[in-house]
Amino acid sequence: MRMSVIGCGYLGAVHAAAMASIGHDVIGIDVDERKVAALNAGSAPFFEPQLTELLTEGRESGRLRFSDRMADAAGAQVHFLAVGTPQIPGGHAADLRYVDAAIDGLLPHLRPGDVIAGKSTVPVGTAARLATRVADSGATVVWNPEFLREGWAVHDTLTPDRLVVGAEPDAAGERGVAVLREVYAAAVEAGTPFLVTDLATAELVKGAANAFLATKISFINAMAEIAEASGADVALLADALGHDSRIGRRYLGAGIGFGGGCLPKDIRAFAARAEELGRGEAVGFLHEVDAINLRRRERAVQLVVDALGGLVFGRRIAVLGAAFKPFSDDIRDSPGLDVAVRLRGLGADVVVTDPAALDNAAAAHPQLGYARDRNDALREADAVVIVTEWDEYRRDLSPAHAGGLVRGRIIIDGRNCLDAAAWRAAGWQYHGMGRR
Ligand code: UDX
């Protein structure tokens, strides 16, 4: 099927490449000329496992092209909207300017029967508004939220755990759903649940899923606070809770909390939209979820300060990790970088290292020190803080090796990802988050 993907960021570039890999003829559109040039050259503009391979394959097959001209989207049967919806400056709501700009650009090129499939995370009610905007063109709006995780984006796009398509309950909506069923035929045939809803429910599924995940993480981080006050161990607690199949162990990883381009801004936008709808109190708990999350960063800083005897001024601190999570170079709202920035603000000599996100971090926070080599970051450090659980730190860093490089054997495990006993046995003072 001929399709366009408008917006080629973390979501759109992966979607475009994945759709081409399953046989569709795809044009990706983005306003950023440099990004378009990189994608056309088969080079991923950000770190995402398997994306380069798919871009190269798409280029060689001739089924995947990128352009900065919206006119090149003309003739596609489906237009996927994958532009960003960041937090508005100075507020909590979602900024829909890129969504509206995409529709403005697309309008002159739409033909009757075209399907616009929204993938961007939007406040409930947006799809219906966009449907009104494009009504005269004869195009149909459906909503097809995306649940991919960065670092697993290719995997999650090609083998999603469910597909959700929201549409108006009329003939045009039914046709839109049928077109999307055809787009995802391979996954549907492989048994992926395909849920058809109204527009509002489809938009809400995404907001609700992210709100639930954020709540689960903050729940266990709230338990970490109680564990800290009572001498319990939150990691053992999470294991015990996780065996209850109604609860499950995933997303019960206590630590410095969630970050990234989605969960933090999405729960704020969700709460802001609920307030607009006069139902703010229904999701009032999301403010608490946000507050718990932010308190964990402060807690990590406090652990470092306490471990260094109350003063970090002039002390050298190695921060292992900058990306908001492993297998990503994304530093948007990275809890780990926030911890690094706060420590620097207290006068510490902070050296950050990360296998993928160092350039992004250095561009955003030039006041921090950086080392490309993990060993250089560790050398002469008075304390070490792990903020992103990359395999390079979690699995491959031995306490004996690190102990030979640092000045002080103090480690703060911001992700509870290390074997505490092994580090203690090697003479380290180990501090986890909510752990004994
Ligand atoms: C998330 C959702 O998972 C995805 O479905 C949605 O489409 C976009 O938002 P992503 O932002 O890529 O995806 O990351 P995710 O793997 O969910 O992690 C989010 C944050 O939560 C990371 O900072 C991670 O470190 C943190 N996290 C995750 C925890 O602190 N504890 C956990 O147990 C799990």
Over residues 62-85, the pLDDT tens digits come to: 999 999 999 999 999 999 999 999
Whether 114 has a pLDDT exceeding 90, the answer reads yes
Whether 345 has a pLDDT exceeding 90, the answer reads yes
The CA–CA distances, whole Å, from 391 to 35, 56, 319, 355, 397 equal: 29, 27, 15, 10, 8
| Domains contained in the chain, number | 3
User: Domain for residue 202, yes or no?
Assistant: no
- Identify the residue whose C-alpha is closest to ligand 1 atom 18: 258
Whether 329 has a pLDDT exceeding 90, the answer reads yes
Q: What are phi and psi of 4, to 5 degrees?
A: -115, 150
Decide whether any atom of ligand 1 lies within 6 Å of the 149 Cβ.
yes
pTM score of the predicted model: 0.96
| Domain boundary pick from 175, 197, 219 | 197
Q: Are residues 73 and 144 in the same domain?
A: yes
| Domain boundary pick from 153, 177, 197 | 197
Question: What atom in ligand 1 is closest to the CA of residue 324?
Answer: 23
Over residues 26-63, the pLDDT tens digits come to: 999 999 999 999 999 999 999 999 999 999 999 999 99
Token pair, residue 80, equals 């996927």
In the chain, % of residues over pLDDT 90: 100
| Domain boundary pick from 237, 269, 290 | 290
- Mean pLDDT across the chain, nearest whole number? 97
Decide whether any atom of ligand 1 lies within 6 Å of the 10 Cβ.
no
Whether 436 has a pLDDT exceeding 90, the answer reads no
Over residues 254-278, the pLDDT tens digits come to: 999 999 999 999 999 999 999 999 9
Decide whether any atom of ligand 1 lies within 6 Å of the 321 Cβ.
no
Distance from C-alpha of 238 to C-alpha of 284, rounded to nearest angstrom: 25
Decide whether any atom of ligand 1 lies within 6 Å of the 263 Cβ.
yes
Number of Cβ within 10 Å of residue 367's Cβ equals 9
- Identify the residue whose C-alpha is closest to ligand 1 atom 2: 149
C-alpha 367 – ligand 1 centre gap (Å):
27
Q: Are residues 243 and 309 in the same domain?
A: no
Which residue range forms the structural domain that includes residue 142?
A: 2-197
DSSP state of 31: S
In the chain, % of residues over pLDDT 70: 100
Residue of 78, 235, 262, 271 with catalytic role: 262
Q: Is 8 a catalytic residue?
A: no
Over residues 194-236, the pLDDT tens digits come to: 999 999 999 999 999 999 999 999 999 999 999 999 999 999 9
Q: Are residues 125 and 234 in the same domain?
A: no
What is the arithmetic mean of pLDDT over 120-134?
97
C-alpha 113 – ligand 1 centre gap (Å):
37
